[in-house]
Structure 1
Amino acid sequence: MALSRHDNLHSRLVGWLKVLLPLLALVILSTLFMVSRKIDPQDAIPYAEVDVADRIREPRMTEPAYAGVTEDGASLTVTADAARPDASGKGGTAQTLRAELDTPDGAHTSIVAQNGTFDDTARQMRLNGGVQITTSTGYLMTTEALVSELDRTEVTSAGPVAGTGPLGVLSAGQMRITATEGVSGSYVLVFKNRVKLIYRPPEPPPNDK
């Protein structure tokens, strides 16, 4: 008899809990909705409008990248911190430019500039502001401006260059990197116009005793 009363009590308790627990859950949910702060969707619109208006007024790209192969087989990669197209949509300006040129003969040239401009019609890029050129052949040169073609391997300084090379301290009125005429897959680095070289002989190897 005691066991039967216990079973009946347990059954009634389970039955009441099946009704009470869902009701309690509904009460809790309704309370949360009633006391929660209302969100005004209009609050975020002024901030979004400012950003969109700024982008429309001065469209720009963050960390753009360009990669291509010239008609003579060299690989050219250009990256920047930011870029803005011009009004024609066929060119633009960029800040903090980095260019990497790999020619088929295995040479590598790295170029860094503060800013630059692109002209898609002329297939040309101009780098300005303390341009630094580093080559895998041991040259480290600086110039104020540099012009690079995008469809062929031809990099020319727009003015004097100065720096160091395998033979010593070097300066010239102009520097040019271009394909060797008549020799496929060969490239030359040419200095001209008032070339000055201060020869610095290589240090002798240490004398091990």
Structure 2
Amino acid sequence: MTGSPTHNLDQNDQDHFRNLSPKSLSYKDSQKEVRLVTLLKKTVPVFTGLVLAALVLWPLLSQKEGSFTLAVDRLEKRDETAKLIKPQYVGIDRYGNPVRIAAESAYRESHGQMDYHLKNLLAELKLKGGENMQVKASSGIFQADAQKMILDGDVKITTDTGYKLTATESAFLINEKLATGDKGVSGTAPFGKFSATRFEVDVDEEIVRLSGNVKMHINPRSPLDLAQPTKEERE
């Protein structure tokens, strides 16, 4: 006996097929969906642009170390170095005070080096008490890793606290505000005038150590705190 097969659907099967059937939307609901799609078309590109901008700018905004801002002028092809026109270094010292070093020009001997040879440099710093300090030189080498400047030619160091130093050569530690040299120095300080062959000046602590042909003119109206010589200086 042959016949047509019969299919008996239970309640779960009926609910499943009912959910698969297309639903009708009211005019009001369809208008809401249209407005939502339109809004997404406008906002998604804007949000994507903001995310991309944040990815590009974040390394710059979060950078804490000093950096150079400069223009590059390539020299003749026979010269392997690049000359930096009006470079400017901006950073902070160990007290969080700003450090700015500008120059007429600069160059590095090789791409991998962090030593910048500067011409007509001007460094503007702050002492730990907030007073201004300037360092000028005809030429010098800025060692970025060591935070040190090797100054040469008409070196001048001045501060708002009354110190003025002139030397032909000097090494200057940026964080320590320490100037040293052995090719002669002359200057003025709150206590008077001085000159010598070798010098070590701690500008932050206002300590001046001189040796070799020392000459001093003390201002009797100014207080003078004479530091005791170290063991090495006595020897």
TM over 0.5, shorter chain: yes
Look up the equivalent residue of 1:85 and give its one-letter code. R
Asked whether the 8 Å contact 1:64–1:83 carries over to 2, the reply is yes
The answer on whether the counterparts of 1:161 and 1:175 sit within 8 Å (CA) in structure 2 is no
Alignment of 1:23-38 (within 5 A): none
- Specify the alignment match of 2:154 in structure 1: 130
Say whether residues 1:193 and 2:210 are aligned partners: yes
TM-score of the two chains, using structure 1 as the length reference? 0.59
Counterpart AA for 2:176: T
Q: Does the 8 Å CA contact 2:74/2:82 hold for their aligned counterparts? A: no
- Aligned equivalents of 1:171 and 1:52: distance in 2? 43
Cα distance in structure 1, aligned partners of 2:100 and 2:157: 15
Alpha-carbon deviations, 1:52-101, whole Å to 9, x = none? 66277241111100111112223221100000112243222110010111
Partner of 2:92: 69
Partner of 1:16: none
Within the candidate set 78, 89, 105, 1:82 is matched to 105
Amino acid at match of 2:85: T
Give the Cα separation in 1 of the matches to 2:74 and 2:205. Answer: 48
Counterpart CA distance in 2 for 1:162 and 1:114 is: 17
CA–CA distance in 2 between the matches of 1:56 and 1:103? Answer: 43
Instruction: Specify the SS of the correspondent of 1:192.
Output: strand
Give the TM-score taking structure 2 as reference length: 0.54
Residues 29-53 of structure 1: per-residue CA shift (max 9 Å, x gap): xxxxxxxxxxxxxxxxxxxxxx866
State the Cα RMSD in Å: 2.4
Using the alignment, how far apart are the partners of 1:134 and 1:52 within structure 2? Answer: 34
How far does the alpha carbon of each residue in 1:98-125 deviate from its partner, in whole angstroms, 9 at most, with x for none?
0111123122211110000122343322
Q: Which runs of 5 or more structure 2 residues have no equivalent in the other structure?
A: 1-72, 222-235
The number of aligned residues is 143
> Structure 2: which amino acid aligns with 1:66?
Y
Partner of 2:201: 176
Instruction: Give % identity.
Output: 26
Read off the aligned partner of 1:149 and give its amino acid letter: L
Q: Secondary structure at the match of 1:60?
A: strand
Q: Classify 1:53/1:59 alpha carbon distance in 2 versus 1 (closer, same or farther; 3 Å).
A: closer
Unaligned runs of 5+ in 1: 1-50, 179-186, 203-209
What does 1:85-100 align with in structure 2 at a 5 Å threshold? Answer: 85-87=108-110, 88-100=112-124
For 1:90, the aligned partner's letter is M
d(CA) in 2 for partners of 1:165 and 1:104?
18
CA contact (8 A) 1:63 1:80 kept: yes
Higher relative contact order (CA 8 A, sep 6+): 1
Once residues 85 and 77 of structure 2 are traced to their aligned partners in structure 1, the CA distance between those partners, rounded to angstroms, is 12
